[in-house]
Structure 1
């Protein structure tokens, strides 16, 4: 089980003569939670699309472990949930067995949603349904592209706790993409800071103190680590409260 789930080596990606990604190396081990952070336009979504095979790299190589099963949760806004379709019918597009559909909903605490229309779901409920759909594949790697976008701060925290529980249950690796640093970092084994190339990577604490990270995000993200430090290292105390310049707008 020790072989990496995904190994990307010297990845380049160009579009229209513009280089979006330059010499990116990334490895994800089984059971590891890796978060990619970076400003808008830093190539995060492009990297995810390359890793799941939706795009081909201009240069470099991507190796997947043989038969790797990937569950993908897209940005919430990229799915039209005004379709007149119930949650169960939506999941049935991916899985014919009702028992498997219910099991996936149970994993995300969404059993009560089964008969509801997609259009009637709250943002958080809709995210759970998308997560359930990804779990139908019994994934060895779960890929979440800004999956908590549009949720409020408590909703985001709840969503990431759910991801941690699923990682424990399934033993799957998790690749998360986010620009919301406050909560994400607490769940990550490793953070990769991307801005067209990998600026820095390491533990959340290491990355938050790295000059390249501070150059991108400023110094106002100290509060992002309060949660992480509290959970992982009581000797450091809670950290300065800091200014959250990068709050996802709850109304977004």
Structure 2
């Protein structure tokens, strides 16, 4: 039983068709990454899954009482507002101390509870947003360009934490990302979106698909090379393919 299933969905925003006849599903425990150029409808797809926008056509089916955790692309906090990390977790509903402590630890932000939100680095801020998304023990964790503004080591460390959380908590993960090299290493399935689903499948399948190459160029062969390199090292240190 899929956590989310989309059948023949089309979405119009401001008179423009943003998504056309999209079929999509995500199953328990898998990591799915959506890639695509700017304006391809990636964030719109996420908003439809969450239920924030209503499709013009087609159907979005969520498993009953599906618990979703959401890490936004960015969140603006008034720099003049005194707000500690612990207090931030209490918005909009108060969270008990044990739950707050546990989710901060899971997100790698255990030492940040008393820090001011406005004093956090980019990576620390994203880990706090991740902790907040984990508060309701999500079955599906959704991340919209969650590593934007982080350097490459910071992004890689964040995605590794997401993979570890999936393994430990058993939640499914749906990510939107521009970082193709990280996507290749971190995903079970990649969906290439450009108003519709151009191609989808295992990372190595998508990276070699003509539709993907047409959008991202052949230079992304480097992403696949890195993917293969990392996986060969994790599988018996470079056993011959």
> Which residue is equivalent to 1:103?
102
> Which residue is equivalent to 2:235?
none
> Which residue is equivalent to 1:27?
25
* Cα deviation, residue 84, structure 1: 2.0
Which string of whole-angstrom CA distances, capped at 9 and with x for unpartnered residues, describes residues 84-120 of structure 1?
Answer: 2000000012442011000000101211100000000
Q: How many residues align?
A: 234
> Which residue is equivalent to 2:189?
190
> Which residue is equivalent to 2:215?
216
TM-score (norm. length: structure 1): 0.90
TM-score (norm. length: structure 2): 0.94
> Which residue is equivalent to 1:58?
56
* Cα deviation, residue 81, structure 1: 5.8
Comparing 115-124 and 14-23, the one that deviates more: 14-23
Aligned counterparts of 2:78 and 2:72: Cα–Cα separation in 1: 13
> Which residue is equivalent to 1:231?
230
> Which residue is equivalent to 1:139?
138
- Tell me if the contact between 1:95 and 1:136 (Cα under 8 Å) persists in the aligned partners: no
> Which residue is equivalent to 1:245?
none
2:45 to 44, 47, 51: 47
- 5+ residue gaps, structure 2, are 233-237
1:89 to 66, 87, 110: 87
- Runs of 4 or more, structure 1, over 4 Å off, are none
- 5+ residue gaps, structure 1, are 238-252
- Tell me if the contact between 1:22 and 1:196 (Cα under 8 Å) persists in the aligned partners: yes
> Which residue is equivalent to 1:80?
77
